Structure 1
Amino acid sequence: MIRVLASDGMNKAAAADLRAKGYEVVEQFYEPEDLKRELANYDVLVVRSATKVREPIIDAAVEAGRLKLVIRGGVGVDNIDVKYAESKGLKVTNTPKASSDSVAELALGHMLAMARYISIANVTMREGKWEKKKYEGVELAGKTLGLIGMGRISQSIARKATALGMKVMYTDIFEIKGLPEEYVCATQEEVLKNADFVSLHIPAAKDGKPVITAEHLAMMKPTAFIVNTARGGLIDEDALVDALEQDKLAGAALDVFAKEPLQNERVMNCPKISLTPHIGGSTKEAQGRIGQEIVEIIENFFNK
């Protein structure tokens, strides 16, 4: 029997579907040293973001000789040493389509929350404060949305933002074909300087350093907002708080962080930052689609 380890859990319907098809599915998180040992008993490893599949784990799995397939339930594969795994004969794949709309909606939700002070007003009202005059916001309509990276998620945001009356400009290292003519392609510097709302949708840098530094934040308008629902560490968190405290930026929204759970107290306590705990893909619909895609990947791999 083919055994599947879902180390970060799995959609119930998907797990049931796999079991009905004759697979054994175990949902259990293991710390790295334990995972190295346990992978000798599995053919497939399914992870989300909590489990890190690094070289020592890959070496142990390859030495044991059973593991054949690693699946990242989600878009990014930063938590997997993909090239190394593939060089050792393991197949690595992800589910890039499943959560695009969910992440896009969260990013757009954060933009609305920042523009209209929804996050902070919710907190201060529960403290008994009625700060109506303080929370004069801005409209998204007529504003420019700048997208850093123009993959599936960014394209989903762009469609939704356009429906709200926003203008779209973007930058990407690749030429993206088939986009609406009204989307303006520009350099990253041009996007940062001209956008009213900037949303990041790029992988982490290979060296792990921030992609958006104090220098980049200084390029932005003091009335601008920045959103990161992509990867933790893309923005220099302390530089971001500095810019917000000095009124060099109007606001920020973060769903991902350099260290998770969030440990940076400056970020936690900054009232100009809208925070969510890495829930970009956490919708019932997205989890269902991710589960279905995982089932399809496993079925196609073992029943070619």
Structure 2
Amino acid sequence: MSRIVLLEKIHRSAADHLKAAGFTDIVQLPTALKPEELPAALDGADAVGIRSATQIRAASLEKLSRLKAIGCFCIGTNQVDLTAAAAKGVPVFNAPFSNTRSVAELVIAQAILLLRRIPEKNMRTHRGQWDKSAAGAYEVRNKTLGIIGYGNIGAQVGILAEAVGMRVNYYDVESKLPLGNARPAASLDELLASADVVTLHVPGGSSTENMITAPRLAVMKPSAVLINASRGGVVDIDALDAALREKRIAGAALDVFPKEPNNDKEEFISPLRGLDNVILTPHIGGSTEEAQENIGREVAEKLVRFLKAGTTRWAVNFPEIRHVEKEAQSRVLNVHRNEPGVIARMNADFAQAGLNIVAQHLQTKGAIGYVLTDVDAPIPPALLQKLRAEPATIRCELV
């Protein structure tokens, strides 16, 4: 039976779903692990579940020869080396939709609080100051929300923003169908210049690293506020710190940071600490009971389907094979280099062993090919050994 390790306080719905599917060897650890800790903690594990803090890189994957699947119980997957995982025959699954509403609600709440200058009023009241001034405090109605990254979360933010009377503009590097009355901006600078609230919903990676720099902050209105609930590396923190202290923008809310503590025992360090016009939250965009329960169930279901049937629908780094229940006596999973002749040689090996193939499902993605082969008889160990010895084979398993 497969061994599954869950890190970082993944919601109990994940373990419950795995147990209901028949998986009983489940290890749950409450914190993120450092790369050097992974080999020991994941020794013998067939699958691992992580959130956003644990980093799984190529060096770790080299030491985890038994690992068959990775579940990211969150939206992002940049904490995993996806290319290295695919090259080792390890699909990576995530939850791209389950916390959409929770993140969107947080963004709208932060927009309202920042435009009303609630963070400043709150801090002053705590210090004994009774500041009832309305100067610089605004309703969100008729204000313009600028969304950078109009994916699942960005679009949901736009819908909620319209419900409270905001105008919505968005910018995305890909053409996206607008929802509601949202309007696409011709350029990023156009969006920054027009928005009263700028909110970021872009993926991590080199293409978005330091997307918001000093020159782009300079384009924003002095009365505008910035919200980042996407990835910590998207905003140049030093540039934002300077813009806030020099009152070149009115406020900011950040839920993600370039460097985040691994657990609640480590101190959070940021130059933005102590600023009255800044909301700092500890990466809690998806931290609602509803979102975490949904994420736990969604990713666990994907792991169950892979471990039980080898299907990879919704894998982010791997050829996707839709879910098909295993009905034949044997199913062989074969991950291989995507090159000519592999399937022909494999099927010849089945024929030579006198085995009849009753179904076969093949998909490729880049350099990787993945095929599920259903056979109406047991697979002889010698045949499995022969398939694994094929030069193009990356991983070959029975399920």
For Structure 1 versus Structure 2, the TM-score category normalised by the shorter chain is over 0.9
Aligned partner of 1:263 among 259, 262, 269: 269
Q: Tell me how far 1:182 sits from its aligned partner.
A: 4.2
What SS does the aligned partner of 2:131 have?
coil
- Residue pair 2:17, 2:300 contacting (<8 A) in 1 also: yes
- Cα distance in 1 for partners of 2:123, 2:59 equals 44
CA spacing shift, 1:135–1:275, aligned 2, 3 Å: farther
CA distance in 1, matches of 2:12, 2:4: 14
Provide, for residues 215-234 of structure 1, a one-character-per-residue CA deviation record: whole Å limited to 9, x for no partner.
11001111111100111121
* SS of aligned partner of 1:242: helix
SS at match of 2:132: coil
Counterparts of 1:18 and 1:142, CA distance in 2 = 47
Provide the rounded CA distance (Å) in 2 between the counterparts of 1:299 and 1:178. Answer: 35
Cα distance, 1:208–1:192 mapped onto 2, change above 3 Å: closer
CA distance in 2, matches of 1:250, 1:302: 50
Per the alignment, residue 25 of structure 1 pairs with 26
- 1:287 maps to which of 275, 289, 292: 292
Residue 275 of structure 2 is aligned to residue 275 of structure 1:
no
Aligned residues of 1:113 and 1:274 also touching (Cα < 8 A): no
- 8 Å CA contact 2:159, 2:180 repeated in 1: no
Change (3 A) 1:84 1:216: same
Higher helix share: 1
Note the C-alpha offset of 1:78: 1.4
Q: TM-score, normalised by structure 1?
A: 0.93
Change (3 A) 1:195 1:3: same
- 1:1-304 counterparts in 2 under 5 A? 1-23=1-23, 24-28=25-29, 29=31, 30-61=33-64, 64=65, 66-133=66-133, 136-177=136-177, 179-180=179-180, 182-206=182-206, 209-261=209-261, 262-264=268-270, 266-304=271-309
Counterparts in 2 of 1:223 and 1:208: CA distance versus 1, 3 Å: closer
Letter in 2 for 1:164: V
Contact 2:196 2:225 in 1 (8 A): yes
CA distance change for structure 1 residues 147 and 271 in 2, over 3 Å: closer, same or farther? Answer: same
SS of 2:249 mapped into structure 1:
coil
| Aligned amino acid, residue 305 of structure 2 | N
Structure 2: how far apart are the matches of 1:146 and 1:182? 10
Q: Amino acid of the residue matched to residue 27 of structure 2?
A: V
Q: Structure 2 regions of 5+ residues with no counterpart?
A: 262-267, 310-399
| Residues 17 and 301 in structure 2, CA contact (< 8 A), matched pair in contact too | no
Code of the residue aligned with 2:88 in structure 1: it is: K
| 1:47-87 Cα shifts (integer Å, max 9, x gaps) | 101111111111111xx3x1111011111111111122112
Cα contact 1:117–1:135 (8 A) shared by 2: no
Aligned residues: 300
Distance change >3 Å, CA 285–CA 83, structure 1 → 2: same
Aligned residue type for 2:21? K
In structure 1, list runs of 5 or more residues that go unmatched.
none
Q: What SS is found at the alignment partner of 1:253?
A: strand
In the aligned structure 1, how far is the partner of 2:303 from the partner of 2:296? Answer: 11
Q: Which runs of 4+ in 1 moved over 6 A?
A: none
Mapped partners of 1:15, 1:300: distance in 2: 15
For residues 162-197 of structure 1, the C-alpha deviation after alignment (integer angstroms, 9 at most, x for no partner) is: 011111111111111363454234311111111111
Between the two proteins, what is the percent identity of the paired residues? 38
C-alpha distance in structure 1 between counterparts of 2:93 and 2:13, whole Å: 20
TM-score of the superposed pair, with normalisation by structure 2:
0.72
User: Separation in 2 of the partners of 1:20 and 1:254?
Assistant: 38
Bigger Rg, structure 1 or 2: 2
Give the whole-Å Cα distance in 2 for the aligned partners of 1:233 and 1:105. 22
Contact 2:93 2:299 in 1 (8 A): no
Q: Summarize the Cα distance change of 1:296–1:202 in structure 2 as closer, same or farther, 3 Å threshold.
A: same
- Aligned-CA RMSD value: 1.7
Say if 1:254 and 1:127 are closer, same or farther in 2 by CA, change over 3 A. same
CA 9–182 in structure 1, closer or farther in 2 if over 3 Å, else same: closer
8 A Cα contact 2:197 2:226, kept in partner? yes
Deviation string 1:194-225 (CA, Å, 9 cap, x unpaired) is 11110001122327841110011001111111
Q: CA deviation at 1:18?
A: 1.4
- Code of the residue aligned with 2:34 in structure 1: it is E
